[in-house]
Every structure is written in C-alpha cells, then in structure tokens.
C-alpha cells in the first residue's frame, strides 16, 4: 500500500514592530520565518520548539513541495509516528536573527543585510551585536503570539543546543523538557578561537571591504572558504577517508606535480563552500560567529545558569565531535550534576562526528521516546 503523502510545509513570517537587544539597541520591523508540523491542542499544551544549527534554517522536517530533494534536517525524528510525534505534538521552528541563508527564498531573517528603516540602506556593520539570548527572546515572542504559555519540549542541534540551554535557564517556567544535541552549555577558549578561524577568510577577502559590500562585489571567496572550514570541522576523519581517500582532484594529475595540483577532498570541499556562499551572507556569518563566541548558559556563569534550569534534560552527544569535543561535554555534565539537575546523557555513533547529531538522529529514537514519556 502506498504511504500517504504528508501535507506540504508552509513557511510563515513573524514580525515584531520593536525589539530591544540584550545590549540595549532598539530594532524596528524585525522579521523571522517560521514553520510548524502537527496541530496545536485547544489548551495549547502540546507545543515543541526546535532551534536550528549555525548554518541551518527553520526547516526541521517535512518538505515544502513533493518534489523537494531532501526533507528538513531532523525529519528522521519529527513527523507522524516518529520520536517527536506530530500526531501528538505541535512542533514549530523559526529562523534566527542574522540567519546565514539570506539568499534562500524560504528563509526570512533580520540582520546586517536587511534594510535599516532609519536610513533605507542595508545595516551592514551598523547592525547591533546579537546573542543567543536575543535569538531566544524573538522565539519567545513568536511562541507567546500563538498563545502558548509552556513548551512541552525545547530541542536543537549544535547552535540549537545553545538556544535550548538558554531557553531552559532564562525561561524555566516555560520549558517542561529540554533536549540539547551536539553542543555544550558554555563556549570554551578553544572553540572561541576556532570560531575566529572560521571567520578569518572573510575578513581578509578584499571584497569584504569592512562589511560595506552591499550593491558591490560580495566577498564570496572568503565566505566560501569559511564555509569549507565549517564543513571540515563538522565532520570526522572516518568520513573524509572513506569518501575521498588520497585521490587526486583530477584523474591522472599527480598532486606532487605542482602547487596547484590538488587532492579531491580539497577541490570538493571548496566547490561545496562556494556553492553555499551564493545563498549566504558574509556579515551574517560574522554575526553568528560573535553570538556563538559570547555564549554562556544564562548569560553569566555556567554554574549560575545551570542553577536556574528546572526542566529535565536529555543531552545527546557524539564522542568524536570536533566542534564540541568530549572535554566540553564532560564540563557540561559536571555543571548540571553539581547543580542537582535531572540530566540523562545519550551518545550516538557514526563516521560524521558533529554532523551525526543532524544526520544520524534516528539512533536516539528510543531515548527520545522514553524521555518524552517520563
């Protein structure tokens, strides 16, 4: 029997006439895209919020059209009868402020590439620094606009896990359960430095021009290489060796023959980075880097942030993660346990490292079901 086709996902837009950042800057006409799956109960008690990763969008599950090549990134665990069952839950997700994917017609965000209503020109670097807490506050406004007072679950991978921790610490009365995936409750010095390395190719691209490139040649070379670095760190050696090995970029062209003779992994990563750069914005990338560097759960100290959390947590990690490696996971677990938090730790395996928290989440299906049934 043919499986019933799920209805197409509808992209909606949420607007805030006024928003004040954590730094005290006022923004007008803030817009973010959002989508949902399932139905909200009459008492509005079945809402689940999914927070997306650094280079992601609100497209967490389903398809916009039947012909779409791929569904949303967590489609393996969100949908009818799945771990986060949309026959039971109303699942929503929204694009963050300064979302990277400004060239994607299904992404709506406010950031440096947006028109400043005061000047009629793109903000550029006049846009204020924003934080993970600012992302959460925009999401909170969206949630409240739907009449939802309490979320049955907040969850997300990578940067989405930072938002999950922040939700649980900043609005404990609104979060019944939290599921941070492939992340940590505070950025450490090494990751702050790695994020700086991600940003570096943009800053040395002459087309970046101090952030003033709108209406001119965009810094696509720098942004492409930045995205190459993100992809490389988000993966692992098992994936790289199995996919590329030591094969040359061009058959019969020995990489030892000249400086510009390359290996396949070099050329393929750079090609993918440049393709993604066509749909992204370099300044938005830099603002995302800053927001991630600044992150500590609750905005003060790790211990204080963890002390404010009340929700039980299912913490899902990957032991070979190069972005949030084992020492960061261990520090998060210790802080949670020292604060007396209810935290269950589950690990997933795979050759992708960090990206297994997006691509291999079906491994956690049993753990998620058990957590939601508690």
Cα separation, 58 vs 52, whole angstroms:
6
Q: Quick one: tokens of 182?
A: 């492939």
CB 272 within 8 A of CB 231: yes
Active-site choice (52, 171, 284, 354)? 354
Domain residue ranges in the chain = 12-187+296-373, 193-285
CB 182 within 8 A of CB 317: yes
Q: Tell me the percentage of the chain whose pLDDT exceeds 70.
A: 99
Q: Tell me the percentage of the chain whose pLDDT exceeds 90.
A: 97
Residue 321 annotated to the active site: yes
Indicate the burial class of 215 (C-beta count within 10 angstroms; 0-12, 13-18, 19 or more).
Answer: exposed
State residue 3's pLDDT score.
Answer: 45
State residue 5's pLDDT score.
Answer: 63
Residue 158 annotated to the active site: yes
CB 225 within 8 A of CB 270: yes
Domain 193-285: assigned CATH number: 1.10.1740.110
Active-site choice (95, 134, 205, 321)? 321
* E strands, 167-232, in order: 178-181
pLDDT digits (tens, 9 = 90+) for 227-259: 999 999 999 999 999 999 999 999 999 999 999
State residue 2's pLDDT score.
Answer: 39
Cα separation, 232 vs 240, whole angstroms:
9
* E strands, 167-324, in order: 178-181, 313-317
Structural element, H or E, at residue 171: none
State residue 269's pLDDT score.
Answer: 96
Residue 170 annotated to the active site: no
Residue 113, pLDDT > 80, answer yes
Residue 189, pLDDT > 70, answer yes
State residue 342's pLDDT score.
Answer: 98
Choose among 207, 332, 337, 232: nearest CA to 282: 207
Phi-psi region of 22 (alpha: psi -120 to 50; beta: other; left: phi over 0): alpha
φ/ψ of 156, rounded to 5, equals 175, 155
Cα separation, 198 vs 229, whole angstroms:
6
Banded model confidence at residue 300, pLDDT cuts 50, 70, 90: confident
Banded model confidence at residue 4, pLDDT cuts 50, 70, 90: low
> What predicted TM-score, i.e. pTM, was given to this entire model?
0.96
Averaged over 273-292, what is the pLDDT? 98
Averaged over 111-128, what is the pLDDT? 97
Averaged over 81-94, what is the pLDDT? 98
Averaged over 33-57, what is the pLDDT? 98
State residue 6's pLDDT score.
Answer: 75
pLDDT higher at 7 or 211: 211
CB 181 within 8 A of CB 156: yes
Residue 7, pLDDT > 90, answer no
Rounded (10°) angle between helices 282-293 and 220-233: 40
Q: How many residues does the chain have?
A: 374
* Average pLDDT over the chain, rounded to an integer: 97
Active-site choice (55, 93, 158, 161)? 158
Q: Is the dihedral of CA 191, 310, 136, 347 positive or negative?
A: positive
CB 115 within 8 A of CB 107: no
173 to 17, 52, 151, 179, 309: CA distances (angstroms): 26, 22, 9, 16, 9
pLDDT digits (tens, 9 = 90+) for 319-349: 999 999 999 999 999 999 999 999 999 999 9
Cα separation, 140 vs 92, whole angstroms:
12
User: 12-187+296-373, superfamily in CATH?
Assistant: Alpha/Beta hydrolase fold, catalytic domain (3.40.50.1820)
Banded model confidence at residue 374, pLDDT cuts 50, 70, 90: confident
Q: Quick one: tokens of 348?
A: 């997933």
């Amino acid at each position: 029997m043919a499986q019933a086709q799920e209805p197409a996902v509808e992209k909606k837009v949420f607007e805030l006439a006024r928003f004040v950042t954590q730094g005290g800057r006022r923004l007008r006409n803030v817009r973010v895209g959002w989508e949902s799956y399932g139905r909200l109960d009459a008492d509005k008690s079945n809402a689940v919020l999914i927070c997306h990763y650094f280079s992601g969008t609100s497209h967490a599950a389903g398809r916009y059209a039947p012909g779409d090549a791929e569904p949303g990134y967590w489609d393996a665990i969100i949908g009818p009868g799945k771990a986060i069952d949309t026959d039971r839950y109303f699942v929503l997700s929204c694009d963050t402020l300064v979302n990277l994917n400004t060239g994607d017609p299904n992404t709506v965000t406010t950031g440096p590439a947006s028109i400043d209503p005061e000047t009629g020109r793109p903000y550029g670097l006049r846009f204020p620094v924003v934080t993970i807490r600012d992302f959460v506050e925009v999401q909170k406004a969206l949630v409240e606009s739907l009449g939802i007072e309490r979320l049955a679950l907040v969850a997300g991978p990578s940067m989405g896990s930072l938002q999950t921790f922040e939700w649980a610490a900043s609005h404990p009365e609104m979060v019944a359960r939290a599921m941070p995936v492939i992340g940590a409750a505070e950025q450490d010095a090494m990751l702050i430095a790695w994020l700086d390395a991600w940003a570096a190719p943009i800053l040395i691209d002459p087309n970046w021009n101090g952030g003033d490139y709108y209406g001119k040649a965009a810094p696509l070379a720098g942004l492409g290489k930045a995205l190459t670095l993100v992809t490389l760190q988000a993966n692992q050696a098992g994936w790289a060796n199995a996919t590329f090995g030591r094969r040359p970029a061009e058959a019969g062209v020995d990489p030892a023959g000249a400086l510009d003779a390359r290996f396949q992994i070099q050329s393929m990563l750079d090609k993918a980075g440049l393709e993604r750069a066509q749909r992204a914005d370099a300044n938005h990338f830099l603002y995302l880097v800053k927001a991630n560097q600044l992150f500590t759960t609750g905005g003060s100290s790790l211990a204080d942030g963890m002390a404010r959390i009340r929700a039980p947590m299912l913490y899902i990690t990957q032991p070979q993660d190069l972005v949030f490696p084992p020492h960061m996971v261990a520090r998060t677990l210790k802080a949670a346990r020292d604060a007396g938090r209810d935290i269950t730790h589950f690990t997933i395996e795979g050759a992708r490292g960090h990206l297994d928290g997006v691509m291999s989440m079906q491994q956690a299906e049993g753990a998620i079901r058990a957590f939601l049934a508690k």
